[in-house]
A and B are shown apart, each in its own frame.
Chain A
């Protein structure tokens, strides 16, 4: 495969770093008892949205799930708005009404985060329908897990999107577990990507830990969508390092599988690649890390310094 331009690789690295640092800090703040929330870490999966989002415009749409803060950060939602939201502050992305499972930020195209497995796919299909009707050339990316591909909404949405040739990209981040259930135990076929053939659309399986592979698959899908040729299903193989949710030690994951996955942690591997391929020096990468770390500090401070949501807001925004 051709090596991507350095600037693109660095941009992917920057997004991956931002995601990883934020994730580590969320966990630290929760462990210290300063934030209470349901949290589904995406540590290990950061390469997928980082590599796709460098191809998207800010007005392209994103729909994601409870395990989707990495998708949000990659698409461009400012970290401080996410932090303030998770801390339940008035300045949060959704004024504290949504929380980690329901972040919305239309300014960066992030239209919906859902806590219902599979439910984002029909909604993404509708966003894509609006783009098709308006001819606005936007594409919609919707992320979900392998478990979601067993839900009816997945199948209905792929069918509808294909019948209507909608500009939507279905991205399955296959981390091999649906809560505690192993992929093979819950899914009757060998791959999620193979399901695309039932719906007459391309289904591609890629190594979700390889930025260049994810980038290439996304590029083809986006071109296809913008060209009016309809949807694509991408299955990006990955792994989640922190269990299903905070406090889940992952006892159901075989020792060996866990060990192999850890040895293949995409983050250090990508960083090493950038140095070896002379994309950037260690010093340059450290500098980038430092800048992101400062941004993170600011985001955390912004959240804690912001006022709590006013209790009288409880009835606001039920209706217009």
Chain B
């Protein structure tokens, strides 16, 4: 077990642990077996050699068929971990995810369930354009019956993935491409992190900064910088965006009186809107300023480097939003 590792290694180790310890677990996805290279970013490298190509199955390019096959195997009691190479390609098998995986427990009156994990990755910043870099988590969060997990560091990636595999319901597990190589503390073998529980990364008193996945990098940096300027930020990593751990969020906002949520997904109808609305429902009278939202612009992800940079938020956007929350006065109303 390494002391530090990146997310690629953490995910690989978690999958290996699950394959080793649970005979019902198996993996499916395009090019994931070693004969095909162990995954495009080598996340599954070595697993088919160790556990067999009959448990680490490279599939044809047919997202509908192999995601649906995951659903079928899951209702038979297996625990498939299906990899959709990039998040945009989930669009191809959305029917299997939202009409089937998400609803089968409910529609069957609890008789069958879908203990499946769909692993996928995404992230802007690689100039891959409009069809290869979207954050689509709100699509899934809007479907009751799905859990949506978005880790931001290696330790969480490991523990959340094992929890997702053990979960009796379908879990969408979203990895961030740009964070893949970030080094961090490694989880112990078999260490679990519960789904639906947020993490208070840093305590503070003046404002609650809420993020998940990539935005944890930037809000943590802003929090450190502002600390030096006398602003004390509480930093929360949601880790799971459906269901959201509102108890932790609301408790924090009641303490600080201010909140900001940042994400890489586009702003409209996003997780930020949901978090903001719920804070206002549950902690309105504690708020000293409106809840701030920092997110990407409402456009497809552009190709040109300068446009792509323009598409998503900058560090300074977060900092400025915090400062306007801090400086908000009643008369602005």
Q: Do A and B come from one complex?
A: yes
- Identify the A interface with B (CB < 8 A): 61, 63, 92-98, 102, 104-106, 111-112, 114, 116, 119, 121-131, 133, 140, 152-153, 156-157, 159-160, 163-164, 316-320
Q: List 5 A-B contacts (CB under 8 A).
A: A63-B72, A153-B65, A156-B64, A317-B105, A319-B147
B123 in the interface (beta carbon within 8 A): no
Selected from A96, A156, A160, A319, the residue in CB contact (under 8 A) with B109 is: A96
Q: Which residues of B contact A320 (CB under 8 A)?
A: 105, 113, 167-169
A153-B68 contact in complex given A130-B77, A133-B78, C-beta closer than 8 Å: yes
Stretch with Cβ within 8 A of A (4 or more), from B96-104, B175-183, B250-258: B96-104
Q: In the complex the two chains form, is A119's CB within 8 Å of B95's CB?
A: yes
Q: Which of B34-42, B54-62, B212-220, B287-295 faces chain A?
A: B54-62
Judge whether B62 and A106 touch: CB under 8 Å: no
CB-CB < 8 A to A152: which residues of B?
64
Residue of B nearest to A153 (CB): B64
B62: chain A residues at CB < 8 Å are: 156, 159-160
Across the interface, B107 reaches (CB within 8 A) one of A94, A106, A122, namely: A94
Tell me if A317 and B65 are in contact (CB < 8 A). no
Contact A133/B26 with A105-B111, A157-B65 known, Cβ cut-off 8 Å: yes
- Is B71 interfacial (CB-CB < 8 Å)? yes
Which of B68, B95, B106, B109 interacts with A125 by CB under 8 Å?
Answer: B68
Report yes or no: B60 in contact with A106, Cβ–Cβ below 8 A: no
A126 contacts B69, C-beta separation under 8 Å? yes
Interface size class of B (residues with CB under 8 A): 35 or more
- Residues of chain A within 8 A of B2, CB atoms compared: none
Nearest CB of chain B from residue A279's CB, rounded to whole Å: 37
Supposing A153-B65, A156-B62 touch, asked if A126 and B111 sit within 8 A by C-beta, the answer is: no
In the assembled complex, the Cα of A124 lies from the Cα of B67 at a distance in Å of 12
Best-buried of B54, B66, B67, B68 by chain A (most CB within 10 Å): B68
Find out whether the CB atom of B60 lies under 8 angstroms from the CB atom of A122: no
Q: Which of B60, B100, B109 contacts A317 (CB 8 A)?
A: B109
Residue B136 interfacial (CB < 8 Å): no
B140 to chain A, nearest CB (A): 14
A35 to B229, CA, bound (A): 69
In the complex, the answer to whether A317 meets B106 with C-beta atoms within 8 Å is yes
Q: Are A122 and B68 in contact, with the CB atoms below 8 A?
A: yes
Chain A residues positioned under 8 Å from B96 (CB to CB): 119, 122-123
Bound Cα distance A163, B28 (Å): 14
Docked Cα-Cα span, A112 to B74, in Å, equals: 12
The CB with the most chain A CB atoms within 10 A, among B57, B77, B107, B167, is that of: B107
Please give, as numbers and ranges, the residues of chain A lying within 8 Å of B110 by CB-CB distance. 95, 316-317
Contact B168 A126 (CB under 8 A): no
Task: Tell whether, in the assembled complex, residue A97 and residue B108 are in contact, meaning their CB atoms are under 8 Å apart.
Answer: yes
Let me know if A123 and B72 touch, CB within 8 A: yes
